[in-house]
């Protein structure tokens, strides 16, 4: 565990320290695109954050190669395959961040990067199929399945990268859940084939943690396609390594031993299901986007404002709350799958997941049902929950003066929601709070 912590810290530190210089380089290089209609940020922000993340990836793998307990991982070709594919996808992303690359060209580049990893041995060899057992794949089948998984994961992460800190945070949560499972397989059950996936998940966590402080709202730099496609490929590499390299029969023998009935087969199918659960939210967003765009007669790669995070803003959530809600659902699905695979008392795990899902739905719909405190309790709650926001009025002040002093007349909830578009300048469904902030900002410039 100490070696993994050291690798994590080095990767995060290098990524964090490189992000500042990379931001200055991006501004000097002109990698600051204009604000588009579908963007939610208000000021032009530099991209190319993927350069720092790629530096963190290289540093993490370099340190791990010199650690005693992790040297065995580098006796295989999997780290080399990861680095080769990551370099190709990173170069493609840098070109897209600076000059823009056609969607079909990017898709072809993603497939080439996945093919390079396959050629170096990072591929799916066999799959556990319910009712049949372990099925060995032909080289062609393994190649097609691996390329499909890598491309889907890359685009899923790329699609969800729409709010400050959203993609890096969700991928970090998924990587943490993935690490818990793979570490248990390697050190708990002695399955050596799980070692590369464990290392990949640690390095991925370090890349995301090092970049997050610069990317949280309000973001000072975006990871761009060079970063989102990179972390998507690293996540897919870990999933391919675990799914295709770990023998399901050996896993069932060591991890399933004393279990009975259906739960005895969980360890066999978890390597197949867990990579899907950790990207469940991004993949759901990807599928909904493709269906939505093709239904309208548009290209599946056409950009719009219909993603899950955009809809959270539309129903009244603030930027930070929308990101935290997406974090919550990602953590619930990923860690719920890991907990179910590790605990014999699975019924309690399921009940806990159902209960937390109900809590998540309440949080999701909270702006639709804004509570209002009774009159006698108004002094005890924040102003947003009061029926009337009161303030001191100077004697003889006019109505316009009162408004300028921050006195708001009583309005209905619907009027508050339509005052300013939700999610813009801090406005939410519970009231227009941005006009006072904007007035203070405007006054500070004079």
Measuring CA to CA, which residue among 274, 299, 230, 241 is closest to residue 54? 230
Helices (H), 30-134: 50-64, 78-98, 103-119
Cβ atoms of 175 and 208 closer than 8 Å: yes
Length of the chain: 446
In Å, the largest CA–CA distance within the chain is 86
**Cβ burial, residue 175 (10 Å; 0-12/13-18/19+):** buried
Q: How far is CA 142 from CA 73, 91, 150, 268, 434, in A?
A: 22, 26, 12, 19, 54
d(CA 302, CA 231) in angstroms, rounded, equals 22
The answer to whether the annotation marks 432 as part of a ligand binding site is no
Measuring CA to CA, which residue among 170, 197, 215 is closest to residue 50? 215
**Cβ burial, residue 100 (10 Å; 0-12/13-18/19+):** exposed
d(CA 32, CA 45) in angstroms, rounded, equals 6
The answer to whether the annotation marks 438 as part of a ligand binding site is no
Angle at 116 between CA 112 and CA 47, to 5 degrees: 60
Binding-site positions: 158, 225
Binding-site positions for Mg(2+): 158, 225
């Amino acid at each position: 565990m100490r070696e993994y912590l050291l690798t994590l810290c080095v990767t995060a530190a290098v990524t964090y320290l490189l992000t500042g210089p990379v931001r200055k380089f991006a501004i000097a290089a002109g990698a600051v695109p204009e604000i588009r209609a579908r963007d939610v940020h208000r000021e032009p922000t530099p991209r190319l954050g993927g350069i720092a993340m790629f530096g963190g990836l290289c540093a993490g793998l370099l340190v791990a190669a010199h650690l005693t307990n992790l040297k065995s991982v580098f006796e295989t070709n999997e780290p080399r395959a990861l680095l080769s594919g990551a370099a190709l996808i990173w170069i493609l992303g840098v070109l897209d961040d600076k000059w823009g690359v056609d969607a079909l060209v990017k898709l072809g580049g993603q497939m080439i990067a996945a093919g390079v990893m396959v050629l170096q041995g990072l591929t799916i060899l066999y799959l556990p199929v319910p009712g049949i057992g372990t099925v060995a794949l032909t080289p062609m089948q393994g190649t097609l399945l691996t390329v499909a998984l890598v491309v889907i994961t890359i685009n899923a992460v790329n699609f969800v990268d729409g709010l400050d800190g959203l993609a890096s945070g969700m991928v970090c949560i998924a990587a943490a859940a993935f690490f818990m499972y793979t570490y248990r397989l390697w050190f708990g059950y002695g399955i050596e084939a799980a070692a590369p996936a464990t290392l990949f998940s640690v390095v991925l966590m370090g890349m995301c943690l090092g970049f997050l402080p610069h990317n949280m709202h309000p973001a000072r730099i975006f990871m761009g396609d060079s970063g989102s496609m990179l972390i998507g490929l690293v996540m897919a590499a870990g999933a391919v390594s675990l799914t295709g390299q770990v023998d399901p029969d050996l896993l069932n023998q060591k991890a399933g031993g004393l279990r009975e009935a259906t739960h005895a087969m969980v360890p066999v199918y978890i390597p197949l299901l867990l990579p899907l659960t950790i990207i469940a939210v991004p993949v759901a967003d990807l599928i909904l986007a493709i269906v939505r765009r093709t239904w309208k007669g548009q290209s599946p790669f056409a950009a719009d404002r219909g993603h899950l995070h955009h809809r959270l803003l539309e129903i009244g959530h603030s930027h930070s709350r929308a990101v935290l809600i997406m974090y919550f659902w990602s953590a619930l699905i990923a860690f719920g799958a890991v907990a179910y695979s590790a605990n014999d008392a699975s019924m309690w795990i399921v009940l806990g997941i159902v209960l937390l899902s109900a809590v998540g739905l309440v949080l999701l719909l909270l702006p639709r049902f804004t509570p209002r405190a009774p009159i006698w309790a108004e002094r005890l709650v924040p102003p947003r929950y009061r029926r009337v926001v009161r303030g001191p009025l100077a004697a003889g002040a006019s109505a316009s003066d009162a408004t300028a002093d921050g006195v708001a007349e009583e309005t209905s909830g619907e009027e508050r929601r339509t005052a300013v578009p939700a999610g813009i300048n801090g406005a939410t469904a519970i009231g227009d709070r941005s006009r006072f902030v904007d007035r203070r900002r405007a006054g500070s410039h004079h």
